[in-house]
Structure 1
Amino acid sequence: MWDSDTEAEPDPPDWSKNVPDEVLKQLSPREKKRQEIINELFHTERTHVRGLKVLDQVFYRPIREQLVLPPDQLELLFANLEEMLIIHSQFNNLMKAKRKESPIVGDIGMLLQFFFVQFEGEAFQKAAVSFCARQQIALDALKEKRKKEPKLHNFLTEAEMNPVCRRLQLKDIIPTGWIRLTKYPLLLENLSKHTPSECEEFTNLQWAIERSKEILSHVNKAVKEAQDEHRLAEIQRRLDRSQFDKVDHPMATEFRNIDLTKHRLIHEGCLNWRIANRPKLIDLHVLLLEDVIVLLQKQDEKYVLKFYNPTLSPVIKVSTVLVRPNAVDKKALFLVNTSQNGAQIYDLVTPSYAEKRM
């Protein structure tokens, strides 16, 4: 069930203890620092593999065998854990083999090239995206489910008491996959600082650094997209468009069955809407989607889509919008909808600025 990786300590061991004194004395301060960084890189990869094995043996397999979670939630939480374990174990084994060659670790640029750039590069990126993209969504769902289901709570509590978890809960262990991705560029950049720039090793390190950054960027983008999709699905479930559908207006007809999940979220936030002949500002929750702007009003647990003015639609096509600053109120702006005869002007202001004025 377990192997030597389970014995990996949280902190890197002292690499110099395995180096003969006469060899250690001949090393320059630069080379000693380089060996220290390599030691940290190798050790933290081993501890990461250990963490993946803990996830697999203490949580994933028992949950699957005991049917603690339904298959779809199990898949959402652990995704392709087995694939990630295989990939990182291969990397870890390459590092172990490299260390066995000599007490002083030589060039590792080709090893890093293999993992980040060549054979494993694309496979690793694809696997990392699958593993990380929906993790936070899964953890949020697990948190709520744990509150409601004693069987799940008791199982996780007992599993988290296992000494191999080192007092960490499942919610602390799962994100280590993404955290590991953030560490690679930092460690490799630090390593390159202590590597002569005129040698091939430095060039190989630069390739690995750039590729590790690309992989992290790709994963971060996938995480954001997954969270945005989840957010739109949540708003769609709570969307009340009953009043919107009743209005006889071209935009109401076109967007009568609006499905937010079919759009891409760019930004969301709060604004106040000033409408002529209305004494009070209207609090809005605004969705800026790739092709439309949606002006919602949050009421209790619902997001209400409705007309506040016969001519001003709460759904606006981005392709028809002109944005103009308000010359009087510097923290306000006008949205000018040019899709209909005559310009339709939306006077919007940030909530904090509205509070100051009032």
Structure 2
Amino acid sequence: WLDCETFRNKILIIGAEDEDFENDLNEVGEDQCTCFSSIEVLKERPAHLLVFIQHVILQFDPAPLLCYLHADLFKNLSTKETKKQLVEFYNTFLDKGAVNRTRPELLTEEAQRRFAQEIQSLQVAEVAKQLEDFRQKRMMGMTPNEAELIDVENHYPTDRIPMEMKEKSVAENLLDKMSETQSVHVFCRTLPLLSSPEGMVTVPDGPGPSPTGPPPQVEEMEPRLLEFEQDPPNWRELASPDALSSLSKKQIKRQEVINELFATEHAHVRMLSVLQMVFSKPLEREELLTSTELATIFPNLDEIIEMHYCFYENLKKLRLEDGYIVKSISTTVLNRFGGTEGEWFQKLTARFCSHQSWALDQIKSRQRKEPRFNSFILEAESKPQCRRLQLKDIIPIEMQRLTKYPLLLENIAKNTEDLTEKERIQQSAECCRRILNHVNEEVKVMENLLVRNTQPITQHTVCVLLGDLLVLLQRLDDKMVLKCQSKSNIAAQEGKQMLSPIIKLDSVFLREVATDRKAFYVIFTWDSGAQIYELVAQSVGERKTWTDVIKDAVDDLKKSGAPMRLSLPPGGGGPPFSPST
């Protein structure tokens, strides 16, 4: 998970070259700990259980696991507590909309316990699958809180600190940590029930569905994104038995990592579509944010979704062509992360990720100030598509995804026997590292210059270029006025940290906006420190004219130390700009 509060205050991105990142490539031994062999063993180890719960919350629908654990409580409850807990259990996990609703409090104690056990038994298969997934990902170093688990597993018990005390202490710390970064609670889902005339509850025959509930409401979603509401099947379930039996242990490991790349790309496209369909488009439709504001909070979101969707489709095609046992993946990943496609991917993701800290601050500020905006966000976050994540947890997913690619590709290469294929996959991993490092740098620049020192101006601004100044004027009725901007909405309320509309050219430098050819950044220093505006011209040619004359003015000031007489662009003071950040 990602602690978004810390993320807003100080962005700390793991670079692919960092020591900790490289250590993640080390595998965890298969027999290092038997705690995850079964749910029966795991539930006796609180620290290990919490780590597993967190993994499930991040990767799956946690309802089956939480339902199983809740049902397990009935084994040790008194009669009074059983009746109380069963009502809560029924209302939380089971069908609230049935025609013949059962009243669980009217069942006998024995029937209540039997009912809970039957419901629990239906979850065993799904929980076992989640445990298998956890074991595989732990071997690849891709599960949370590994350091805490190692701390417990390496503890030497003494009379003063027995193993139970150590486990409990680590578990309490983990629980505090989880409660700070995400909501951990029991989630309402439905499970089909049959109600007999006598009011006794019976469970459907067979394994039955897990309490995952009805599919999310997807009426607003693009048709091609409907498939992302269901997790894709594992490659083992689709490959032929003969093909599976012919694979070596190393080949199986390779297919597991390729499947992990495919499954996590699927999940990533799904969550990006949530940003688009649950938040971005409805916010514009409800006129809670303007298109300019949305372009700043979710920059290039449509293009980013398209890139990841195409990558996912190419991976999917490989699986289908090879009978779900992928023979060669190097061309697909090299085309995605290398060459001109990789450069475009880098530009778009750099812009999106560099704005995320500022976006999080803006959303938090608006929620505090605007009740209607806050109500919209809370309602949107409650939708099933969000999978219990808040908007502040979803916005950073692109940066998180970038940090995963090098690890996944290196693990694929490590288990690839063909030397040419291995070398091309490693080349792709290196491309991913370069992209990640570039995005890191963009994040740092924008954290220092854009996030902390930028004020969004929604209305058009007229720029006037003088000999040694660039002046930003805003229209007020029939007048043009100088208006100081605040660095943030909070600062505006307190009358602090104002950005000047008068820009001294002797400290100015310009920077292109990678994804908007009509825009450019004006970065300069003032008494309070570095500041930045993003100006958007009416056309590409107009942007070039403005940047040329500003650069000429800056260069002349550096050479002579005095302002020059400028030949301004046609239109006198210049055409209006749309500063979007």
| Identity across the alignment (%) | 40
Name the counterpart of 2:237.
17
Name the SS for the 1:67 alignment partner: coil
What do you get for the CA RMSD once the two structures are aligned?
Answer: 3.0
Name the counterpart of 2:432.
212
Contact 2:413–2:423 (CA<8 Å) still a contact in 1?
no
> Which residue identity is paired with 1:6?
F
TM-superposed CA distance for 1:26, in Å, is 1.4
Q: What's the TM-score, normalizing by structure 1? A: 0.64
1:2-49 per-residue CA deviation (whole Å, 9 max, x = no partner) reads 43433243xx74321212222212110000000000000011111111
> Which residue identity is paired with 1:133?
S
Contact 1:5–1:50 (CA<8 Å) still a contact in 2?
no
Contact 1:192–1:205 (CA<8 Å) still a contact in 2?
yes
Alignment of 1:168-247 (within 5 A): 168-196=389-417, 199-230=419-450, 231-232=452-453, 238=496
Name the counterpart of 1:7.
229
1:100 has 2:320 as partner: yes
Name the SS for the 1:93 alignment partner: helix
> Which residue identity is paired with 1:203?
E
Alignment of 1:65-84 (within 5 A): 65-84=285-304
1:60 has 2:310 as partner: no
Contact 1:73–1:138 (CA<8 Å) still a contact in 2?
no
1:87 has 2:304 as partner: no
Residue segments in structure 1 that go unaligned for 5+ positions in a row: 241-256, 265-290, 297-358
Closer, same or farther: CA 220–261 of 1 in aligned 2, 3 Å: farther
Mapped partners of 2:320, 2:298: distance in 1:
33
Contact 1:53–1:85 (CA<8 Å) still a contact in 2?
yes
Contact 2:228–2:266 (CA<8 Å) still a contact in 1?
no
> Which residue identity is paired with 1:181?
L
Name the counterpart of 2:345.
124
Instruction: Specify which structure has the higher proportion of strand.
Output: 1
Name the counterpart of 1:40.
260
Mapped partners of 1:156, 1:15: distance in 2:
37
Closer, same or farther: CA 239–130 of 1 in aligned 2, 3 Å: closer
1:67-108 per-residue CA deviation (whole Å, 9 max, x = no partner) reads 112333212111110010111111111011111012211110
Mapped partners of 2:249, 2:280: distance in 1:
45
1:29 has 2:249 as partner: yes
Contact 1:31–1:194 (CA<8 Å) still a contact in 2?
yes
Mapped partners of 2:326, 2:443: distance in 1:
36
1:152 has 2:403 as partner: no
Residue-pair matches, total? 253
Mapped partners of 1:295, 1:20: distance in 2:
66
Name the SS for the 1:226 alignment partner: helix
Mapped partners of 1:72, 1:84: distance in 2:
18
Mean Cα deviation higher: 69-78 or 31-40: 69-78
> Which residue identity is paired with 1:127?
L
> Which residue identity is paired with 1:116?
F
Contact 1:76–1:134 (CA<8 Å) still a contact in 2?
yes
TM-superposed CA distance for 1:295, in Å, is 11
Mapped partners of 1:72, 1:152: distance in 2:
17
> Which residue identity is paired with 2:293?
Q
1:163 corresponds, among 373, 384, 396, to 384
Mapped partners of 1:195, 1:214: distance in 2:
22
Closer, same or farther: CA 261–33 of 1 in aligned 2, 3 Å: farther
Name the SS for the 2:325 alignment partner: coil
Name the SS for the 1:32 alignment partner: helix
Closer, same or farther: CA 73–233 of 1 in aligned 2, 3 Å: closer
Mapped partners of 1:173, 1:261: distance in 2:
37
Mapped partners of 1:190, 1:239: distance in 2:
48
1:185-216 per-residue CA deviation (whole Å, 9 max, x = no partner) reads 111111111112x6211111111011000001
1:110 has 2:331 as partner: yes
Name the counterpart of 2:3.
none
Mapped partners of 2:297, 2:319: distance in 1:
34
> Which residue identity is paired with 1:5?
E
Closer, same or farther: CA 239–180 of 1 in aligned 2, 3 Å: closer
> Which residue identity is paired with 1:24?
L
Mapped partners of 1:161, 1:209: distance in 2:
37
> Which residue identity is paired with 1:172?
D
Name the counterpart of 1:251.
none
1:149-208 per-residue CA deviation (whole Å, 9 max, x = no partner) reads 001000111111111111111111111111111110111111111112x62111111110
Name the counterpart of 1:248.
none
Name the SS for the 1:158 alignment partner: helix
Closer, same or farther: CA 260–232 of 1 in aligned 2, 3 Å: farther
Residue segments in structure 2 that go unaligned for 5+ positions in a row: 1-220, 456-485, 488-495, 511-523, 530-581
> Which residue identity is paired with 1:165?
C
TM-superposed CA distance for 1:259, in Å, is 9.6
Mapped partners of 2:438, 2:292: distance in 1:
25
Mapped partners of 1:295, 1:87: distance in 2:
40
Mapped partners of 1:143, 1:158: distance in 2:
15
